[in-house]
Structure 1
Amino acid sequence: MALIQYDIALLLHFLCLVTTASAKVPALIVFGDSTVDAGNNNYIPTIARSNFEPYGRDFYGSKPTGRFSNGRIPSDFISEAFKIKPSIPAYLDPAFSISDFATGVTFASAGTGYDNATSDVLSVIPLWKELEYYKDYQKKLRSHLGPSSANQVLADALYMISMGTNDFLENYYTMPGRRSQFTVRQYEDFLVGIAEKFVRELYGLGARKISLGGLPPMGCLPLERTTNVMDQHECVDSYNNQALEFNAKLKVMVARLSSVLPGINLVFSNPYYILMHIVRRPAFYGFEYTSVACCATGLFEMGYTCARDGLLTCQDANKYVFWDAFHPTEKTNRIIADYVVRTVLARFL
């Protein structure tokens, strides 16, 4: 009962913050992987796409945009919480222009990571290229708004970074290259170094409000549970411990940069505990299924395999924590985004 009352109090506090939100954050600018990709991969030669049914069936107009979900993703809900707009468009989508991007844009690419070698696995946009797109965006924004107004938007915008899972699950534990070069702890440090360099580069380009995201309990993704036969398809503890260890290092790095970069407002947004709580206590949030996903058999499908087996896809995604074997449903995305806003990002409201 005390837990329920506590959650209700947090929710009321969050709603109060949302209703009093001002234009302190005029735009949301997003970097990352499939957790925040709104369709950039549709416009590059890669198999890491989701611009087909049943993806997007609960999005506006039942449109499969390239978001790896049945509906909206966390960056969309965060934008809505800040009263900016209900969804953040992909930078490479020709349906949008700089006037749309002026209040929010995502450069994210599904399948990418901090490590360039991770983006090579599925031929997606590496992090350095996302930064190049952002520099191009800056030029267009200054031309559109004028240098003074554009610089103000760039300084007041909230920058969101969400990636890292692919570096471990898609690269380090799957491909031989990095394992031959690094122990897993050395690889963590390697990635943290890249993350720090990226934050410093954003800071040098004028960013001041930055949210660096941590890893989820990646051992609880349906794909990992499906292959965990020896432990009766429970969450893979070693992967979850890896996420906790990496998150701790990111948190230390965030604290260090906050103390040495004048004027920076850098926060660590950690999705681990809220998603783990959802997985461990699904009924509390109204879920029924945690170990299998909604799409197809729910065991291993994502992307094109999800589409091929669409006839098996569940009718009500709101009963499922995961949409495909790697990505949450819209309902889960909303819960995670609301949690991050009220516990971390509220300082920017």
Structure 2
Amino acid sequence: MIYMNENYYFVMYTTCRLTHGKRQSLIVDYAGDVSFHISHQYEQLIRMADRHQLKETLAQLDDQESKNYFLEFVDYMVTHRMATLVKDEAAFPKMSDELSYEEYKLRDVIWDIDKNTTIELVDKILERLSPVNCKIVQIRQNTLLDTPILDHILEGLKNTGAIYVEVHATINPKLDVLYLEDFISRNALLNNLFLYGSEKETFHSVMKKHPGYSSFCVGTIFYKDFDFDGGNSCGTICMKTLDFSGYWTYDLMKKKNGCLYKKLSIDAQGNYHNCPSMQTTYGNVFSKSIDEVLQDSNFLFWWNLNKDKIKVCCDCEYRYNCSDCRAFTENPSDPYSKPSKCHYNPYSNLWS
């Protein structure tokens, strides 16, 4: 066991997060990329001890056995680099939990196009996107991959502030890999191309080389061995879909809806939605600006619907690592209903 000066402060690293569940609690160490369950008693100890001197916490424990368990747990946390002991806790200020893209009106847009999409509609959507400075755009082409209209869209997106674009479409057997490489290479904004209906699941990095420099990746083609279904496969919640990518995602999902916050969907007819799988519309691009949509309280309601408000989810220790689909729920008429595609039961702690 490490030496412990009882005058030192116990400080849990700010890259660690604690979540209280109905039957057990979860601690996630985002710096160490690990997570594990702990009992409610140990969660209470951490919250009681964090940023307090060891002697303060020890004084609150009733018996020597409890004190020994506490010191053993402190030893475990420090040894596994989830906490430290310091002389002055003020020298270790808490990290801000301010959301990283609050200054943006929108973070991402999902844009559907189909065989009937016209240049007039495309140009109107580009006009609507330009003032809102949206950084991430996902284009879903509900046909075989057809590049001429995508070239037009990608050229127009250069003037909207977008920095990341991905395209989803069904694989077109007439377009070989050399053609696809050229398509990605000539569109600098296009980072990833997802092609559905492939014989096997694989990916291909598109490399570019300038004389005198090492090759670098300009984009990636992902081949999917299942059909593009327009988003109906979204909303599945299982261990593989939980998000442990960073403490900033935890902070987002604690405050906002992890899937819908700062998101806008535009369907193939130019209608605004929260999500492609949600039926409610908030006007059309030909009659309403995006700024007007973002002032609609009914639209914004879904942005602020966090997991602490959702039935069953509010008792789940994984709730701040789950994007929380609102399109597919057990009771579609209840906005607070549990996601219907969730495979976890927080009352038994079992996955189905």
Higher strand proportion (structure 1 or 2): 2
> TM-score normalized by structure 2?
0.24
User: Which gives a bigger RCO, structure 1 or 2 (Cα 8 Å, sep 6+)?
Assistant: 1
Max Rg structure: 2
Higher helix proportion (structure 1 or 2): 1
